[in-house]
Amino acid sequence: MTLDEILVEVKKSDNIVIMAHEVPDGDAIGSSLAMCLALRNMGKNAIVLMKDFPENFSFLPGIEFIQKESEIKVFDMAIVLDCPNSKRLNEAFEEYFENAKVKVQFDHHNKNDMFGDYNVVNHVSPATAQILVSSFQYLQIEITKDIATCLLTGVITDTGGFRNTNVTVESFEFASWCLEKGINLSRIYQESMLTMTKTKFEAEKLAMNRLEFFADGKIAFTYLTKKDDEEIGLKPGDRDGIVEIGRTIEDVEVSIFLYEKEKGYKISLRSNEYVNVSEVASIFGGGGHIKAAGATILNMSFDEVKKAIISEVTKNLK
Ligand SMILES: [Mn+2]
């Protein structure tokens, strides 16, 4: 089995680099740190390469192993987590992946390019962290309290706090196992789901004010511009969750959040019941999950992007 083969390769490796998708969320960070801690417990020199991450995750064990750059250029192994293709890696880190002697990835995105030498991909798993739980269990790698804290953070954030329909029996089994181990679930929940920075609050306020409905209220649309970004002084992670606001309003099937990036626009999509937003995102060169997806659009104006995305989502409504 792939997992056994990966373990053989890990045993032969000394220097291991761990990376996740850019603009990391709780699953990307939690999975990366859990993997890093597990490898370090095996005596490996493992580091996580990650640029800016939301500061509310600073409480996580292993956060000190996150580096923005690395002196080692060629690693024995690269492990990529929660990332469906090598393009979603931070551009500055691609070379570490390319140069690594062995390439491994663990992921749960709908469309995965299977870009590693070893690919552990499970589309129905709610979080990469949950794939790591079962992988560690299978390989009999001890899930310490610190590792469990990181993994539970990934499961909690990617299931929207156990609310989303992607949540599984295994999510709750792992949560209950964590509680039994004495892990502070309520603190993890508070830090990763409830506490927001003041700048995030300002961003949400603005996004709420601008929220518009389309298609008889089945679509909620809102946006933030580069100018807002500058005025508010947005921090990493401040835009996370804004797309969820529209989704919580009655009759809304799809929530769209559009924001202006340095180059182009990012669209975030969430659906409630039946629209496969991963399919919609793929029309714009993006992807994701059935009920949570996104894409980056270049070479279109704000109005063009807005019109195109609303019209594409409308086609999928009943
Ligand atoms: Mn994920």
pLDDT beyond 90 at 11: yes
Can you tell me the distance from the alpha carbon of 245 to that of 236, in angstroms, rounded to the nearest whole number? Answer: 19
What is the reported pTM? Answer: 0.84
CATH 3.90.1150.10 fits 2-194, yes or no: no
Can you tell me the distance from the alpha carbon of 173 to that of 157, in angstroms, rounded to the nearest whole number? Answer: 16
pLDDT beyond 90 at 161: yes
Taking the centre of ligand 1 as the mean of its atom positions, its distance from the CA of residue 154, in whole angstroms, is 7
Taking the centre of ligand 1 as the mean of its atom positions, its distance from the CA of residue 216, in whole angstroms, is 32
- CATH 3.10.310.30 residue window(s) in the chain: 198-315
Taking the centre of ligand 1 as the mean of its atom positions, its distance from the CA of residue 254, in whole angstroms, is 20
Mean pLDDT of 15-25: 95
Taking the centre of ligand 1 as the mean of its atom positions, its distance from the CA of residue 287, in whole angstroms, is 13
Supply the pLDDT for residue 164: 87
Per-residue pLDDT reduced to its tens digit, 266-283 = 999 999 999 999 999 999
Taking the centre of ligand 1 as the mean of its atom positions, its distance from the CA of residue 87, in whole angstroms, is 16
pLDDT band at 195 (very low <50, low <70, confident <90, very high): confident
Supply the pLDDT for residue 33: 98
pLDDT beyond 90 at 49: yes
Taking the centre of ligand 1 as the mean of its atom positions, its distance from the CA of residue 48, in whole angstroms, is 16
Taking the centre of ligand 1 as the mean of its atom positions, its distance from the CA of residue 81, in whole angstroms, is 8
Instruction: Give the chain's largest Cα–Cα span.
Output: 59
Which helix (H) or strand (E) is 277 found in, with range? helix 277-283
pLDDT beyond 90 at 240: no
Mean pLDDT of 241-269: 95
Token pair of 312 as six digits: 């594409």
Taking the centre of ligand 1 as the mean of its atom positions, its distance from the CA of residue 268, in whole angstroms, is 14
Question: What is the per-residue DSSP string for 169-227?
Answer: HHHHHHHHHHHHTT--HHHHHIIIII---HHHHHHHHHHHHH-EEETTTTEEEEEE-HH
Taking the centre of ligand 1 as the mean of its atom positions, its distance from the CA of residue 292, in whole angstroms, is 10
Taking the centre of ligand 1 as the mean of its atom positions, its distance from the CA of residue 281, in whole angstroms, is 16
Taking the centre of ligand 1 as the mean of its atom positions, its distance from the CA of residue 22, in whole angstroms, is 12
Taking the centre of ligand 1 as the mean of its atom positions, its distance from the CA of residue 130, in whole angstroms, is 9
Supply the pLDDT for residue 190: 95
Supply the pLDDT for residue 126: 97
Supply the pLDDT for residue 165: 87
Question: Cβ(246)–Cβ(65) under 8 Å?
Answer: no
In this structure, which topology does domain 198-315 adopt according to CATH? Diaminopimelate Epimerase; Chain A, domain 1 (3.10.310)
- CATH 3.90.1640.10 residue window(s) in the chain: 2-194
Taking the centre of ligand 1 as the mean of its atom positions, its distance from the CA of residue 109, in whole angstroms, is 7
Supply the pLDDT for residue 43: 98
Can you tell me the distance from the alpha carbon of 182 to that of 125, in angstroms, rounded to the nearest whole number? Answer: 25
Taking the centre of ligand 1 as the mean of its atom positions, its distance from the CA of residue 5, in whole angstroms, is 24
Per-residue pLDDT reduced to its tens digit, 58-82 = 999 999 999 999 999 999 999 999 9
Q: How many CB atoms lie within 10 A of CB 231?
A: 11
pLDDT beyond 90 at 241: no
Q: What percent of the chain has pLDDT over 70?
A: 100
pLDDT beyond 90 at 110: no
pLDDT band at 196 (very low <50, low <70, confident <90, very high): confident
Taking the centre of ligand 1 as the mean of its atom positions, its distance from the CA of residue 165, in whole angstroms, is 14
Taking the centre of ligand 1 as the mean of its atom positions, its distance from the CA of residue 82, in whole angstroms, is 5
Taking the centre of ligand 1 as the mean of its atom positions, its distance from the CA of residue 4, in whole angstroms, is 23
pLDDT band at 111 (very low <50, low <70, confident <90, very high): confident
